[in-house]
A and B are shown apart, each in its own frame.
Chain A
């Protein structure tokens, strides 16, 4: 059976198993896991099973419930997750559970290592919706279009601004470069920007770009407002909405 361990820093405060009844968490002493701290609401959150999924639900608390680093209203819990409430955290131990939530639809077969599976349309829709809902509740808002842009401040290039729409953006003298450098002795490929899952990475080419005053050691993830200097050109990386 899964259990929750209430921790304060590295000290175990209380441990409760999760049965058929929800486990309640809050400042009021009648909670299953009472947390004595003013930052915690009287009835702050609860944890319960929904089918075979273990779920945490925030009960409109003032200061919020966090799973790992993410503020959630409702989230599926996995073994090893931590629920953070104020300065306390609750460790989720679901190792004893037999149910594997995401794989629920799969036939019971001999266990295979890391067997690849494709989500069928319905499961995929549900999971993405859930993911989208979580996204909206966190600081990220996937609804708004983000336009990463290089704004040229100084130097000889073909345009004043470049909206980064491609997987790969080459900065250089080459006719195939997106950001075309002008002038003698400029390299064909001075630097490049690669769009990856978590953002845009600036990497070296024939030159080592300088970001916010320091030369980059290897590919670095660009942040909104970063200042890039390469071959006498100064550019500002901004994310427009």
Chain B
């Protein structure tokens, strides 16, 4: 399956600094997004530390002694998923340690959502309230659970999703990287189909733009980079209250159908 991807990050309309970080490592089909928090410029330090650590751990060769599968727990996850999970453990520890060693960084933290595609398998690791979605046959489906207070209240049936959207407590997270030396990481694996699209975004998008709008934008613009930019523009049009970061990863539908040569021809003419 051929994979094309693109990402955009933006300050938004209100903030004075961008605390989001993202990275797409194309040879690995690895994409990482982190939304930092903390005063001054410390949110940026936390999120870039997260992204750097994940890249380093995931791109280290197999059997590298620097990369121990620290605490990565079994279930039946693939080696790739376990490595991604252990990368998140490391990132958490690095941020925590940095804030312990630099008193001015106290309280800094970051969310993290990372996806890693190998063949038709997607490994996902997630902490915080950034999100990963899967757009398949026009249907936008959320692959992650927000680790926010309001989401937890929805899961417990205390408030409705509508109340959660209107709550002034949306920014209260229950889990983030860097708050404690250890962190619970959600990991999951998904089977991908040709034509699937994966969207990873910070809450600066999902709080400004509704899911049907997101799905519509992604279907209207097939170029990943351009569709990411369109989503960012949309978030800014709606007020851009927060930094906005969007990663779009598309699995090209390599049709082997009887008439696929026709389509290939028409592609050349463009």
Residues of chain A whose beta carbon lies under 8 Å from any beta carbon of chain B: 68, 70, 102, 109, 113-121, 124, 127-128, 131-132, 134-135, 138, 140, 142, 167-168, 170, 174, 176, 188-189, 192, 194, 196-198, 201, 203-206, 218-219
- Number of chain B residues whose Cβ lies closer than 8 Å to a Cβ of chain A: 48
A197 touches B136 (CB 8 A): no
B141 touches A194 (CB 8 A): yes
Distance between Cα atoms of A21 and B188 in the complex (Å): 52
Known contacts A116-B173, A118-B179, A119-B174; is A138 also within 8 Å of B157 by CB?
A: yes
Distance between Cα atoms of A142 and B153 in the complex (Å): 11
Within 8 A of A (CB), among B134-179: 134, 136-139, 141-143, 145-146, 149, 151-158, 160-161, 163-164, 169-176, 179
Distance between Cα atoms of A65 and B103 in the complex (Å): 47
Distance between Cα atoms of A21 and B193 in the complex (Å): 63
Q: Mark B46-82, 1 if CB is under 8 A from A, else 0.
A: 0000000000000000000000000000000000000
Known contacts A113-B14, A131-B158, A218-B212; is A118 also within 8 Å of B139 by CB?
A: no
A118 touches B175 (CB 8 A): yes
B156 touches A131 (CB 8 A): yes
Distance between Cα atoms of A109 and B39 in the complex (Å): 10
Distance between Cα atoms of A116 and B190 in the complex (Å): 30
**Other-chain residue from B139, B180, B241 in contact with A219 (beta carbon distance below 8 A):** B139
Q: A168-B141, A192-B136 are in contact. List 7 more A-B contacts (CB 8 A).
A: A109-B39, A135-B156, A168-B143, A168-B190, A189-B137, A203-B141, A204-B138
**Other-chain residue from A109, A115, A119, A176 in contact with B149 (beta carbon distance below 8 A):** A119
- Minimum CB–CB distance from A228 to chain B (whole Å) comes to 15
Q: Is B115 an interface residue (CB 8 A)?
A: no
Complex contacts, B222 vs chain A, CB 8 Å: none
Distance between Cα atoms of A223 and B45 in the complex (Å): 45
A189 touches B136 (CB 8 A): yes
Known contacts A102-B172, A218-B212; is A117 also within 8 Å of B141 by CB?
A: no
**Other-chain residue from A116, A132, A135 in contact with B171 (beta carbon distance below 8 A):** A116
**Other-chain residue from B14, B120, B146 in contact with A197 (beta carbon distance below 8 A):** B146
Q: Is B242 an interface residue (CB 8 A)?
A: yes
**Other-chain residue from A117, A134, A188, A219 in contact with B158 (beta carbon distance below 8 A):** A134
Which chain A residue has the least Cβ–Cβ distance from B166?
A: A80
B158 touches A205 (CB 8 A): no
- Minimum CB–CB distance from B81 to chain A (whole Å) comes to 14
Distance between Cα atoms of A56 and B28 in the complex (Å): 55
Q: Is B224 an interface residue (CB 8 A)?
A: no
Complex contacts, A115 vs chain B, CB 8 Å: 37, 171
Known contacts A188-B193, A197-B145, A197-B155; is A114 also within 8 Å of B139 by CB?
A: no
Which chain B residue has the least Cβ–Cβ distance from A194?
A: B141
Complex contacts, A168 vs chain B, CB 8 Å: 134, 141, 143, 190
- Minimum CB–CB distance from A7 to chain B (whole Å) comes to 21
Which chain A residue has the least Cβ–Cβ distance from B14?
A: A113
B171 touches A198 (CB 8 A): no
Distance between Cα atoms of A124 and B147 in the complex (Å): 12
- Minimum CB–CB distance from A123 to chain B (whole Å) comes to 9
